[in-house]
Structure 1
Amino acid sequence: MGNSGSTNKISAQDKAILDMKNQRDKLHQYQKRITVITDRELAVAKECLKRGDEKKAKLALRRKKYQESLLAKADAQLAQLEQLTHDVEFAQLQKDVMFGLQQGTQVLKEIHKEMGGVEQVEKLLEENAEARAYQEEISNMLANNLSNQDEDEVEDELEALEAELSGIDLPTAPANKIELTDAQKAEIAKERAKKRARDRAAEQQQRELIPA
């Protein structure tokens, strides 16, 4: 009886480890493939800024951020599962492991949907009705899938791209430069956060005004 129980326990653990390995291999494949897409999205963002179209540039960067966040989420889940599957109390944690594997599969499905190819990225540059509908669809989807931190990071990347394309070289701080106090830095960060919150609210209001 004891031997039979031990065999079943090992079998379940081995299967979980195999499933995890398969997910990890698939994630690595997706990471390589999606890099081509995110590189193109960055190039599209720059091209849009050169045209003076900041809205589309931001959309390209938001889509890029979403894809990167999916990969990071899947990678973090798999790292956690790897620890669980090697835990000596695997039998007690088996439900958590199985649930984690199911979540990992769902995230990989979402990543797979983002593997539509570079041709979808090109739609961000187009002006026809089909492209505009696609851009609106992507914008609405991202509004529900990017955190405020993600949106802030997109804003930072957009500002960096604008500076790069404007030919602005950030100078090295002089030795006698007056450093801002922590309170001043916090106040600046607070004001930037308020502005970004207002911008997001305005975008959300605009989306709600557009008929479905």
Structure 2
Amino acid sequence: MGNTPSSHKISAQDRAILDMKNQRDKLHQYQKRITVITDRERAVAKECLARGDKPKALLALRRRKFQESLLAKTDAQLETLEQLTANVEFSLVQKDVVFGLGQGTKVLKQIQGEMGGLDNVEKLMGENEEARLFQREVSEMLAGQMSRDDEEEVDEELEKMERAIKTPEVQRDRLEEVDDATGVEEELPQVPEQEPVYAAELKNKARARARAREQKAAQAFEPMAA
């Protein structure tokens, strides 16, 4: 009586769908965690550029781009698998779905290893032997792993960073060149120690008018006094 255990067996399709959901959940967790790391990698790139170390800045940006592309590709792959499972007879795509899930698991492990932690990010700009070894490993790992479009985007971002850092210096240098060429030194306005000329003139005119009124009044008073 009632449902037997055999009636609750999980089918291959159910298992595949469950695996895809689990992978998608892990992927979303990684996306949240890796944001902190990729933000720091971009900051490291700026710091390296500011001190004139362009190779390390490029390495930090390439690693950042690679991590972001891994997440994006895995997300797109999972979406494709979900659509196949939902819209196509599962028996026809089962082999592709199983293979895709296997690849997805490998990529998720790669993403987890790539994330490492903020300590690894700091090694991208380190100068000691351990840091140099890590930088070499990252460079070798990235070789051939990134698409041409990703590489071009990284180069463009690096150029933007360089312009942002150099522009204030260029403007300052041009202003100094102009000053040197003209020989004019900019001086701040000084507070006058004496009254402006026009103020003194107004006071003198006012005194003259007052004296004229006094003289006129005196002349008018003299005949009466006589």
Alignment match, 1:44: 44
| Structure 1 Cα separation of the partners of residues 149 and 9 of structure 2 | 42
The higher radius of gyration belongs to 2
| Structure 2 Cα separation of the partners of residues 151 and 114 of structure 1 | 18
Structure 2, gaps ≥5 residues long? 1-6, 169-226
Three-state SS of the structure 1 residue aligned to 2:46 is: helix
| Structure 2 Cα separation of the partners of residues 69 and 8 of structure 1 | 39
Corresponding residue pairs, total: 162
| Structure 1 Cα separation of the partners of residues 129 and 12 of structure 2 | 52
| Structure 1 Cα separation of the partners of residues 102 and 38 of structure 2 | 26
Letter of the 1:160 partner, please give it.
Answer: K
Which aligned pairs between 1:95-114 and structure 2 lie closer than 5 A?
95-114=95-114
Any idea what the Cα deviations from partners look like across 1:83-105, whole Å, max 9, x if unmatched?
01102411111111111111111
Which aligned pairs between 1:8-157 and structure 2 lie closer than 5 A?
11-157=11-157
Any idea what the Cα deviations from partners look like across 1:51-93, whole Å, max 9, x if unmatched?
0111100000000011011101101110101101102411111
8 Å contact from structure 1 (residues 9, 91) kept in 2: no
Letter of the 1:157 partner, please give it.
Answer: E
Tell which deviates more after alignment, 152-161 or 8-17: 8-17
Change (3 A) 1:44 1:82: same
After superposing on structure 2, the runs of 4+ consecutive aligned residues of structure 1 that deviate more than 3 Å are 7-10
**If the length of structure 2 is used for normalisation, what is the TM-score?**
0.68
Task: Give the drift of 1:130.
Answer: 1.3
Tell which deviates more after alignment, 20-29 or 81-90: 81-90
| Structure 1 Cα separation of the partners of residues 136 and 93 of structure 2 | 43
- Give me the identity figure in percent: 69
| Structure 2 Cα separation of the partners of residues 9 and 84 of structure 1 | 22
Any idea what the Cα deviations from partners look like across 1:141-196, whole Å, max 9, x if unmatched?
1113112221111101101111222346xxxxxxxxxxxxxxxxxxxxxxxxxxxx
**If the length of structure 1 is used for normalisation, what is the TM-score?**
0.73
Structure 1, gaps ≥5 residues long? 1-6, 169-212
